[in-house]
């Protein structure tokens, strides 16, 4: 991995960049089939050359993309809107951390590329940290490529970085670091306020008292109602193309969360998790099922779709651990690994060739190559 040509990944045919990225990570997943037996063993190790290279590749591909994603024009408008605004009033224009980056990009240097690159660094850090907390990190990363990386990180800058930070929070919570969880969720909410929907999950993680569960459910319900209402209102003032893109595949995207949720609920004892982790991911799975009902009754599929994006880590967690849950624990289980990789390849293929707005991602263009 040390000799990978990032510029080569960024050019070529319209689909080449996405397939090369997936092929690289899929190859690593297949060539590193044997899981670490200790759950946090990868977290305890320093990043080697492979992980550093992968981090740089993701940051460069996501952060320095050019005219890629359905919201590209909207992000340019954000930069133009805040240009010339006084620094002491930047927080009046939206989510503070994201708006501050836009102010720097608009008034100091870098424009939209500075904003996207900083967000890409944070997203990539969160994603890789989450993957390295799993027994098969490369397999988890292969699951992330088709949708979380390609569509979300390259399409929704704000929610992409919020999800990356939320994954740092999930790692902290699964390690019983509640303060770290709250800090990372708060940081994520500074980029996209909808990240606060994950806050009550700290109550569900290992909660043994019925009143705590009831309290957590009540807080979650109130937050969910508020967020769905706010997201629906935001959708009314956003562009038609953005709304149509967000809503047209909402059912499919929620179904992608439902499938691993059902698998986990049916086989959760075979995942052999500590009690607090099993509780956390059980509630995540239940939440994924609740979004099916919300999609059916909500007047805004866009709002439900946006909030449900925070459940994508459930896909990574379940599919990345499936070989050990359904195969022999601690073994290579090549058939299950290949099936997960094949499923991920199918998701990427279907999205690139059949999604209604995938043309907004094609061809992949990179800032440096545009300069040339």
pLDDT higher than 50, residue 349: yes
pLDDT higher than 60, residue 122: yes
The pLDDT of residue 244: 46
For residue 36, the 8-state DSSP code is P
Spatial distance between the Cα atoms of 302 and 254, rounded to a whole number of angstroms: 11
List Cα–Cα distances, 231 to 102, 147, 206, 296, in angstroms: 21, 21, 30, 16
The pLDDT of residue 173: 87
Residue recorded with tokens 């050359």: 49
Q: How confident is the prediction for the chain on average, in pLDDT?
A: 84
pLDDT higher than 60, residue 283: yes
pLDDT higher than 90, residue 299: no
If DSSP codes are grouped into helix, strand and coil, which group holds residue 289? helix
DSSP β-bridge partners for residue 65: 366
The pLDDT of residue 262: 98
DSSP assignment of 289-322, as one string? Answer: HHHHHHHHH-S-HHHHHHHHGGGHHHHHHHHHHH
The pLDDT of residue 44: 66
* pLDDT above 90 as % of the chain: 53
Instruction: Name the more confident of 95 and 150.
Output: 150
The pLDDT of residue 237: 41
The pLDDT of residue 238: 47
| pLDDT 10s digits, 263-275 | 999 999 999 999 8
Spatial distance between the Cα atoms of 327 and 33, rounded to a whole number of angstroms: 12
| pLDDT 10s digits, 30-72 | 999 988 765 455 566 788 899 999 999 999 999 999 999 988 9
């Amino acid at each position: 991995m040390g000799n990978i040509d990032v510029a080569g990944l960024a050019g070529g045919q319209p689909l080449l960049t996405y397939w090369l990225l997936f092929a690289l990570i899929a190859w690593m997943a297949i060539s590193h089939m044997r899981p670490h037996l200790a759950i946090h063993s990868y977290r305890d190790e320093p990043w080697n050359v492979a992980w550093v290279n992968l981090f740089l590749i993701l940051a460069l591909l996501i952060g320095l993309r050019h005219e890629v994603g359905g919201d590209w024009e909207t992000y340019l408008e954000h930069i133009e809107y805040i240009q010339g605004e006084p620094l002491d009033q930047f927080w009046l224009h939206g989510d503070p951390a994201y708006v501050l980056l836009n102010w720097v990009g608009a008034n100091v240097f870098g424009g939209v590329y500075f904003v996207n690159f900083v967000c890409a660094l944070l997203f990539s850090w969160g994603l890789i940290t989450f993957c390295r907390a799993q027994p098969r990190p490369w397999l988890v990363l292969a699951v992330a490529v088709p949708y979380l990386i390609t569509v979300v990180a390259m399409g929704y800058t704000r929610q992409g970085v919020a999800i990356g930070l939320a994954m740092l929070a999930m790692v902290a919570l699964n390690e019983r670091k509640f303060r770290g969880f709250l800090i990372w969720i708060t940081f994520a909410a500074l980029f996209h306020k909808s990240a606060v929907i994950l806050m009550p999950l700290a109550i569900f993680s290992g909660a043994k008292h019925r009143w705590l569960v009831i309290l957590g459910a009540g807080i979650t319900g109130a937050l969910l109602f508020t967020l769905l209402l706010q997201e629906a209102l935001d959708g009314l003032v956003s562009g038609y193309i953005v709304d149509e893109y967000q809503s047209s595949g909402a059912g499919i995207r929620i179904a992608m969360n439902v499938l691993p949720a059902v698998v986990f609920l049916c086989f959760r004892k075979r995942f052999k998790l500590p009690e607090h982790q099993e509780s956390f991911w059980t509630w995540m799975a239940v939440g994924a099922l609740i979004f099916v009902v919300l999609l059916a009754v909500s007047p805004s599929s866009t709002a439900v779709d946006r909030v449900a994006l925070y459940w994508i880590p459930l896909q990574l967690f379940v599919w990345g651990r499936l070989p050990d849950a359904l195969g022999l624990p601690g073994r290579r289980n090549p058939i299950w690994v290949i099936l997960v990789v094949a499923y991920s390849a199918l998701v990427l293929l279907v999205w690139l060739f059949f999604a209604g707005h995938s043309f907004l991602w094609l061809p992949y263009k990179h800032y440096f190559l545009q300069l040339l």
